[in-house]
């Protein structure tokens, strides 16, 4: 039996919902019930009626789904699917930083561990970071973590001076530099350029970027654009969906090397085994989950 069929059979047997991030392998995206960005997938996890959620993404996404759905079984097919950005701050480092800024609001990007979320006042994703920070009292100091490029973009978009940034970054996006953009622009003079706010080139002040968008923002852009050619500055997994959305347009990666090894850990065989053998079940200790839930509820509501 072809593996896709076997996965569909197991999915039905287990009553599992398969959620996949926009950066997953094309064949994984194609078999998923829902494909999207972190915010969309968190909302889909909350709406799910199935008792089992299989997360084809990275660990912090599966942990988030578990915190939002404590009664469900959440499966991550490969435990090597971590996130270098999430690993750039520990809970101890956050506690020390908070002690240096008493009274500051802590806004954590969803790309963080559950215990860092538990020490946070708000979570956000790239889709709603500007909205979450913009909604805080103007006089309140903000500690934004862990991505400094996303944080700098939020600082510019909100015009806030009292926002402190953690010096973390995503190695996949940080290596996309303004020089790469300038070179690509010279090679494709008519192309539009869209970039994820985690990019090292992602400052809104740079004249080389037409739009800064979350991954779901990029999907909506693909649906609507009339530009014949677009350079896409993010992880290349997203091109699969963009091209399907709009086969008449050309979507090119800013760099073929923008590949997240963590997002590519999961393949169809991992998914099959995950459903067949109930592995790997993601658990979050109850005390951490209940404190992290407050910050995540605010993210989902924003």
Taking the C-alpha atoms of residue 57 and residue 24, their distance in angstroms, rounded to an integer, is 7
Q: How many CB atoms lie within 10 A of CB 6?
A: 16
Binding residue (CB under 6 A) for ligand 13P from 108, 125, 255, 274: 125
Is 230 a residue that touches ligand 13P (CB under 6 A)?
no
Cα pseudo-dihedral 193, 194, 195, 197, rounded to 10: 130
Is 125 a residue that touches ligand SF4 (CB under 6 A)?
no
Is 112 a residue that touches ligand 13P (CB under 6 A)?
no
24 binds, among ligand SF4, ligand 13P, none (CB under 5 to 8 A by kind): none
Site string for ligand SF4, 249-288 (x = CB under 6 A): -----------x-xx-------------------------
Is 233 a residue that touches ligand 13P (CB under 6 A)?
no
Q: Phi, psi (5° rounding) for residue 60?
A: -65, -25
Minimum CB separation from ligand SF4 for residue 255, in Å? 13
Site string for ligand SF4, 163-202 (x = CB under 6 A): -------x-xx-----------------------------
Taking the C-alpha atoms of residue 76 and residue 64, their distance in angstroms, rounded to an integer, is 12
Binding residue (CB under 6 A) for ligand 13P from 24, 29, 38, 255: 38
Minimum CB separation from ligand 13P for residue 20, in Å? 11
Q: Where are the alpha helices (DSSP H) in 48-90?
A: 59-68
Is 147 a residue that touches ligand 13P (CB under 6 A)?
no
CB 41 within 8 A of CB 19: yes
Is 232 a residue that touches ligand SF4 (CB under 6 A)?
no
Binding residue (CB under 6 A) for ligand 13P from 104, 150, 170, 239: 170
Q: Is the bond preceding residue 174 a cis peptide, omega within 30 degrees?
A: no
214 binds, among ligand SF4, ligand 13P, none (CB under 5 to 8 A by kind): ligand 13P
Within the chain, strands assigned E span 16-21, 34-36, 52-56, 73-75, 105-109, 122-124, 142-145, 163-165, 192-195, 211-212, 229-233, 250-253
Is 148 a residue that touches ligand SF4 (CB under 6 A)?
no
252 bridge partner residues: 231
Taking the C-alpha atoms of residue 287 and residue 27, their distance in angstroms, rounded to an integer, is 37
Binding residue (CB under 6 A) for ligand 13P from 111, 120, 203, 255: 111
Minimum CB separation from ligand SF4 for residue 124, in Å? 14
Is 63 a residue that touches ligand 13P (CB under 6 A)?
no
121 binds, among ligand SF4, ligand 13P, none (CB under 5 to 8 A by kind): none
Minimum CB separation from ligand 13P for residue 107, in Å? 15
Tokens of 253: 């990666």
* Strand pairing class (105-109; 122-124): parallel
Hey, which residues between 53 and 92 contact ligand SF4 (CB under 6 A)? 58, 83-85
Buried b (16+ CB within 10 A) or exposed e, 243-281: eebbeebebbbbbeebebebbbbbbbebbbebbeeeebe
37 binds, among ligand SF4, ligand 13P, none (CB under 5 to 8 A by kind): ligand 13P
Hey, which residues between 97 and 116 contact ligand SF4 (CB under 6 A)? 111
Taking the C-alpha atoms of residue 42 and residue 158, their distance in angstroms, rounded to an integer, is 25
Tell me whether residue 7 or residue 28 sits nearer to ligand 13P (CB atom).
28
């Amino acid at each position: 039996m072809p593996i896709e069929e076997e996965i569909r059979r197991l999915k039905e047997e287990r009553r599992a919902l398969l959620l996949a991030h926009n950066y997953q392998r094309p064949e994984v995206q194609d078999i998923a019930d829902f494909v999207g960005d972190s915010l969309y997938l968190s909302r889909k996890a909350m709406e799910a009626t199935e008792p089992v959620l299989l997360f084809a993404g990275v660990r912090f996404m599966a942990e988030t789904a578990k915190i939002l759905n404590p009664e469900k079984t959440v499966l991550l097919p490969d435990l090597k699917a971590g996130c270098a950005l999430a690993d750039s701050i520990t809970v101890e480092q956050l506690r020390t930083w908070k002690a240096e800024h008493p009274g500051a609001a802590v806004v954590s990007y969803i790309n963080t561990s559950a215990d860092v979320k538990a020490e946070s006042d708000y979570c956000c994703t790239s889709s709603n970071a500007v909205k979450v920070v913009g909604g805080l009292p103007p006089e309140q100091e903000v500690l934004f973590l862990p991505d400094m490029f996303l944080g700098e973009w939020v600082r510019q978009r909100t015009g806030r001076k009292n926002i402190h940034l953690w010096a973390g970054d995503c190695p996949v996006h940080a290596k996309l530099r303004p020089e790469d953009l300038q070179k690509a622009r010279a090679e494709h003079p008519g192309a539009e350029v869209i970039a994820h706010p985690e990019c090292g080139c992602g400052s809104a002040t740079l004249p080389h970027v037409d739009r800064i968008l979350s991954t779901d923002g990029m999907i909506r852009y693909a649906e609507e654009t009339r530009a014949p050619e677009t350079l896409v500055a993010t992880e290349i997994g997203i091109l699969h969906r963009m091209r399907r959305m709009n086969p008449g347009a050309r979507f090119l990666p800013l760099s073929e090397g923008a590949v997240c090894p963590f997002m590519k850990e999961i393949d169809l065989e991992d998914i099959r085994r995950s459903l067949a053998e109930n592995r790997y079940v993601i658990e979050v200790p109850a005390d951490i989950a209940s404190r992290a839930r407050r910050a995540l509820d605010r993210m989902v509501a924003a």
